[in-house]
Amino acid sequence: MLLHLDFSSDIPIYIQIRNQIVMGIAEGKLAAGEKLPTVRALSEECGINMMTVSKAYQLLKQEGYIQTDRRAGAVVKHPEKQTGPRPETIEGLKLRLSELRLAGMTIEDTLKLCRTLYEEGEA
Amino acid sequence: MLLHLDFSSDIPIYIQIRNQIVMGIAEGKLAAGEKLPTVRALSEECGINMMTVSKAYQLLKQEGYIQTDRRAGAVVKHPEKQTGPRPETIEGLKLRLSELRLAGMTIEDTLKLCRTLYEEGEA
DNA sequence: TATTTGTATTATAAAGTGTAATGCAAATAA
DNA sequence: TTATTTGCATTACACTTTATAATACAAATA
């Protein structure tokens, strides 16, 4: 579990943790059923407070990405394919596509980039 | 200039304004050279404080999306095609692609969605 | 000269973020 | 049983961020 936290970022730490775990699952670095570090272990490893990690786990649990058990700790959930993407995901994607367009990227460049990013987590 | 502000959202108002203007430019709803509403007008229209709008404009100015003039107000900048996408854009895109994957979308579904979203602003 | 523009200033309130210390209920291991 | 580990709750505190409010300023325009 290697997290890269940027303490000078605008993005709160617990959101950074949440995001990196979501990407980790999508990339297969974290397999379904795999145990996540305990909140105590991860907080010590990162040099942050226990409750900050707990906040990230609670968010991930609420969003359905992980499951927490009193004793077993936090475990990566098997994705339920029924659930479509959340509205925030679509809206966030739209924003990034807008930024890419304004940065001068064509639709073809953009799709190529998306494919590359998508496939990076399949190796 | 129709902004849809969600006052119960986690996203700060000035960020919501910033995001919607960026998407508006990308979609052509706001043409290059076009004048944006004055901070006073927009703040009254949205029922929010002047400084909140000013904050959004300052952010957009700093990111190169608009230009502000003492008297002319805020104007949409012509995008300089030289500048590639910012790291935050790539990282944000990667996160959304991860979320789509975990929501059960295939790479083909994803690319189709991207193309659709991209082309929605070309009509 | 009077008005409009973005911006600055100052003050204030509310919410969000992160830390710190402590404890609890449940499950496991001894 | 007893001890330990787990996520989680609680309480308190400090700091930052966000948003409002009122006022004012320099520059440009009418």
- Please answer whether residues A78 and A67 qualify as being in contact, where contact means their C-beta atoms are separated by less than 8 angstroms: no
DSSP state string for A1-50: ------TTSSS-HHHHHHHHHHHHHHTTSS-TTPBPPPHHHHHHHHT--H
What is the structure's pLDDT at A68? 86
What is the structure's pLDDT at A110? 97
Residue A68 sits in the same domain as residue A91: no
Residue B66 sits in the same domain as residue B105: no
Tally of domains in chain B: 2
Domain end call among B39, B57, B76? B76
Q: Which of left, alpha, beta for A76 (phi over 0: left; psi -120 to 50: alpha)?
A: beta
Interatomic CA distance for residues B103 and B86, integer angstroms: 26
Interatomic CA distance for residues A54 and B73, integer angstroms: 46
- Whether A47 is in a domain gets the answer yes
Domain membership of residue B32 as a residue range: 13-76
- Whether B38 is in a domain gets the answer yes
- Whether B47 is in a domain gets the answer yes
Residue B25 sits in the same domain as residue B69: yes
Interatomic CA distance for residues A117 and A121, integer angstroms: 7
Amino acid at B47: G
Three-class SS state of B10: coil
- Please answer whether residues A52 and A3 qualify as being in contact, where contact means their C-beta atoms are separated by less than 8 angstroms: no
pLDDT for residue B121 is more than 80: no
- Whether B27 is in a domain gets the answer yes
- Whether B32 is in a domain gets the answer yes
What is the structure's pLDDT at A87? 94
| Token reading at A111 | 């799709």
Alpha helices of B3-120 — where are they, by DSSP H? 13-26, 39-46, 50-62, 87-102, 107-119
Q: What is the mean pLDDT of each run of 10 residues along chain A (123 residues)?
A: 88 94 92 90 92 93 87 81 86 97 95 94 64
Output b/e per residue, A51-71; b: 16+ Cβ within 10 A.
Answer: ebbbbbbbbbeeeebbbeeee
- Give the CATH number of the domain where residue A18 resides: 1.10.10.10
What is the structure's pLDDT at A78? 79
- Average pLDDT score over residue span B27-35: 91
Residue B17 sits in the same domain as residue B58: yes
Residue A69 sits in the same domain as residue A106: no
- Whether A4 is in a domain gets the answer no
Please name the member of B84, B86, B110 whose beta carbon is closest to the beta carbon of A114: B110
Measure CA to C1' and name the residue nearest C9.
B51
- Whether B22 is in a domain gets the answer yes
Answer whether any strand C atom is within 7 A of the Cβ of A20: no
What is the structure's pLDDT at A100? 96
> What residues contact residue B120 under an 8 Å CB cut-off, 6+ apart?
B27
Distance A88 CA to D23 C1' (A): 39
Please name the member of A80, A101, A115 whose beta carbon is closest to the beta carbon of B26: A101
Distance B102 CA to C23 C1' (A): 37
Residue A65 sits in the same domain as residue A93: no
- Please answer whether residues A43 and B65 qualify as being in contact, where contact means their C-beta atoms are separated by less than 8 angstroms: no
Three-class SS state of A106: coil
Residue B95 sits in the same domain as residue B72: no
Interatomic CA distance for residues A39 and A70, integer angstroms: 12
Give the model confidence (pLDDT) of B60-110 as tens digits.
999 999 999 878 889 999 877 667 899 999 999 999 999 999 999 999 999
Residue A95 sits in the same domain as residue A66: no
Residue B105 sits in the same domain as residue B68: no
Contact A6/B at CB under 8 A: no
What is the structure's pLDDT at A120? 81
What is the structure's pLDDT at A47? 92
Residue B71 sits in the same domain as residue B99: no
Predicted confidence band at B123 (pLDDT cuts at 50, 70, 90)? Answer: low
Interatomic CA distance for residues B45 and B34, integer angstroms: 19
Residue A22 sits in the same domain as residue A66: yes
- Whether A8 is in a domain gets the answer no
Q: Which residues of A touch B66 (CB under 8 A)?
A: none
